[in-house]
Structure 1
């Protein structure tokens, strides 16, 4: 009997720790990450239509050039967020002539991700300075993307950085580890409860 009490206590502690770990992991997954299915062709070939993309939720202050972000906009069809790449942030001088590379602060961008190697598409020339607190965005499929180039009259075509909802993940390691933690936590909880149940059952003795 003295042996059973420590076993029951160990089972309860294991179950409680497992449930706590699973709950924390699920909470972090729910609040720190999200996913969405690409509905258009503006970000091909990086993110083709129908692709499921995983994102981390970030603050406006965390957004950097080169990030692919999910952002809200009043002009989006059905109010759905759009997926675009950040080319310039507040204070950046962004320009391009048709057929030439995009330049940021006088330096041409190397953009291996653009579709068909075309960095300009059909957009006219532009030369803007991004207002502070805002972002200049382009799609990777420049010939088929409604982005900052086509609304230059309003705030240099930029969007407020606060409109960013999340940033695309280069690696799924973070959410995968959290999902694994949640699974292991549930398994530990199940093992602990099973251990306690077995201890209680052995205390009752064999059935007659």
Structure 2
């Protein structure tokens, strides 16, 4: 019986094998670092969205012409709001976007033509379309309760908002934040005024 003779690898074969092993190590290192970066970025995104901003997709036409269906906006988490600002809030497992017109204690009046006064001062509302008193089932003048905000949609005839007891005034517990930025579609990218 003859013994099999093993060929000794050439220097060139050893170099190729060493290069292949080094490439495997480099691939593993790059893969590991990429996974670490992806996990850190994902964790950061979740943290930011939980504590600072919320991304929302607009549905419905209660805020036209300011916001259109399909637009994507960013709401900055906040607990205080000024009249005229857009806010997002939870209502029956949905997120609604409306405009703040009255803060706690303010007296709101809406005449039969849909013109709004707050504490006796008529509001200039260039953003409002189709002003309307309806739909309403509350009596005006109306005083905004403590820790609540009176909100209206910009497309008044199509908006269910604080004029109706169905939605009513928004409580602080319902609030998500100020709608401050539009990110999609790109032709309308920018801050929301």
With the length of structure 2 as denominator, give the TM-score of the two structures.
0.65
Alignment of 1:92 with 2:106, yes or no, is: yes
Alpha-carbon distance in 2 for matches of 1:162, 1:63:
14
**Structure with greater proportional helix content:** 1
Equivalences, count: 142
- Shift, 1:159, TM fit: 2.1
Alpha-carbon distance in 1 for matches of 2:117, 2:181:
24
With the length of structure 1 as denominator, give the TM-score of the two structures.
0.60
Aligned match for 1:72, one of 70, 90, 93: 90
Identify the structure with bigger relative contact order (alpha carbons < 8 Å, sequence gap 6+).
1
Q: Do the aligned partners of 2:135 and 2:160 also contact (CA within 8 Å) in 1? A: no
Alpha-carbon distance in 2 for matches of 1:136, 1:166:
15
- SS of 1:72's partner is strand
Aligned match for 2:171, one of 152, 160, 166: 160
Structure 1 runs of 4+ with >6 Å offset:
none
Alpha-carbon distance in 2 for matches of 1:158, 1:92:
12
Alpha-carbon distance in 2 for matches of 1:159, 1:26:
28
**Structure with greater proportional strand content:** 2
CA deviation map 1:20-73 (0-9, x unaligned): xx86974663331121111111111100111111111112xx222111111012
Q: Do the aligned partners of 1:89 and 1:130 also contact (CA within 8 Å) in 2? A: yes
In structure 2, relative to structure 1, the CA distance for the partners of 1:145 and 1:34 (3 Å cut) is: same
CA deviation map 1:57-111 (0-9, x unaligned): 112xx2221111110123xxxx211111111010000001111520000000011
Aligned match for 2:123, one of 96, 106, 109: 109
Aligned match for 2:69, one of 41, 46, 49: 49
Alignment of 1:120 with 2:120, yes or no, is: no
Alpha-carbon distance in 2 for matches of 1:171, 1:145:
21
Alpha-carbon distance in 1 for matches of 2:105, 2:67:
28
Question: RMSD of the alignment, in Å?
Answer: 2.6
Unaligned residue ranges in structure 1 (runs of 5+): 1-14, 173-208
- SS of 1:131's partner is coil
Alpha-carbon distance in 2 for matches of 1:133, 1:50:
31
Does 27-36 or 158-167 show the bigger shift?
A: 27-36
